Amino acid sequence: MDKKIALIGCGKAGLSLSLALKGAGWEVVGCASRTLAAARAGADWLACPLLASFGEIPAEAVLILGVPEGALPEVESSVARQDPNLKGRVILHLSGALPARVLEFCRLRGASVGSIHPIMALPDPLTGAKRLKDATFAIEGRPAALEVMKAIALALSGRYFILSPRGKTLYHAAAVVASNHLVALLADSQELLDRAGADASVAWPAFQALVEGTVKNFYAGGPVSALTGPVERGDLETIRRHLQALKRWPEARERYRSMALGVLGLARLRHPERREAHDALEKLVTGWHSS
C-alpha cells in the first residue's frame, strides 16, 4: 500500500491526522480547503503542495475529507465529478456521527469509502497530532477502506475498533453522553457546591478526586459495581430533601431527577431484594416532576 494521503479541509481534525501520519512516515501529496487562506495555512503545516482542483489528486493517494459534516455532501459531489481516478481510490471522512455511506456518489463511481473517527479531543494541529498517538479509532466502511484505516491506526496508536454502518450514530451518541453530557452534570455539581457556600479552593479539588475515583471504579468493575449513594441505598428521605432543596433551580432539578431514575435502574440490578424501597423512590422521583 502506498502511504500517501491528500487532504481536503484544513481544519483541526484533518490537519491533526495528516500531521500525525506525516510524522509516522506517510507522504502528504497535497491539500485544499474552502478558502485560499486556510489551504495555504494547511500547506504550511504539512509542507505539501496546494491542490488547485480535485482533478489534481494523485491516483495512488488516499483522500481524507476533513470538512465539517454539513459540507460533506457538496464536497463529495465535487470530488465525484472532478476526480478522474475515483475507481479504486480510498476516500475517508472524519465525522464521528455520519457513516461512510454518505460518500455514495464516490462509491458509485468506484471508490472504496470509509469513516475514521479518533476518540480524542484535538484542540489544534500540533497538540492533536501528538494526542493521536494515544487515541483509539472508530472505523467503518468498505473492505479496501477498512484495510487502509487499520493501517492508519496501527501507524499511530495501534488501537481501533470496527463499527457497523447502523451502529455509527449510536456510537456518536455514546461519545456525546460520555463527554458533553458529563460536562453539563459536572457544571451542575460545581454550581450547587458554590451555592452551598463551600470554599472552592478546597472543595473543587476534593470533588475532582471524587469524580476520578468514581470513573476509575466504573471502568474497573462496571456501572453496577461502581454505584454508591442514596438511590443505591434506597434512602427515600435524602432524595426527598435533595429535590426540595433544588426547587429554586428547576433546570438542575430536572437533570437530577432524570439521572436519579437512571441510577435507580442500576440500583435495581444491584439490589433486587430492595424492590419495595426502589418502587417508593421511583414514585417519589417521577411524581416530583408535576409537583
Mark whether 192 and 213 lie in a shared domain.
yes
* Residue scoring higher pLDDT (110 or 287): 110
Contact 15, 128 (CB under 8 A): yes
Per-residue model confidence as pLDDT tens digits over 134-150: 999 999 999 999 999 99
Q: What is the number of domains present in the chain?
A: 2
Confidence of residue 288 (pLDDT cuts 50, 70, 90): confident
Q: Which helix (H) or strand (E) segment is 137 a member of?
A: strand 137-141
pLDDT value for 1:
75
The percentage of the chain sitting over the pLDDT mark of 90, rounded to a whole number, equals 97
Query: Is 60 exceeded by the pLDDT of residue 291?
Result: no
Q: Which of 163, 187, 202 is the last residue of a domain?
A: 163
Q: Which of 144, 163, 182 is the last residue of a domain?
A: 163
Strands 112-118 and 90-93, sheet pairing = parallel
Instruction: For residue 224, give its domain range.
Output: 170-288
Let me know whether 176 and 242 are in one domain.
Answer: yes
Query: Do 181 and 268 fall within a single domain?
Result: yes
Question: How far lies 278's CA from each of 247, 285, 290, in Å?
Answer: 22, 10, 20
Verify that 145 and 56 share a domain, yes or no: yes
Q: How far is CA 14 from CA 17, 73, 188, in A?
A: 5, 17, 33
Q: Are 50 and 126 contained in the same domain?
A: yes
Digit-coded pLDDT (tens) for 165-206: 999 999 999 999 998 999 999 999 999 999 999 999 999 999
Identify whether residues 61 and 30 lie together within a single domain.
yes
Whether residue 22 is found in the same domain as residue 102: yes
What are the grid coordinates assigned to 62, written together?
A: 488516499
In this prediction, residue 289 carries a pLDDT of: 59
Do residues 133 and 218 share a domain? no
Quick one: 14 and 98 in the same domain? Answer: yes
CATH number at residue 112: 3.40.50.720
pLDDT tens track for 1-45: 789 999 999 999 999 999 999 999 999 999 999 999 999 999 999
Q: Tell me, what's the pLDDT at 235?
A: 94
Same domain, residue pair 151 and 185: no
CA dihedral over 70, 75, 81, 84, signed as positive or negative: negative
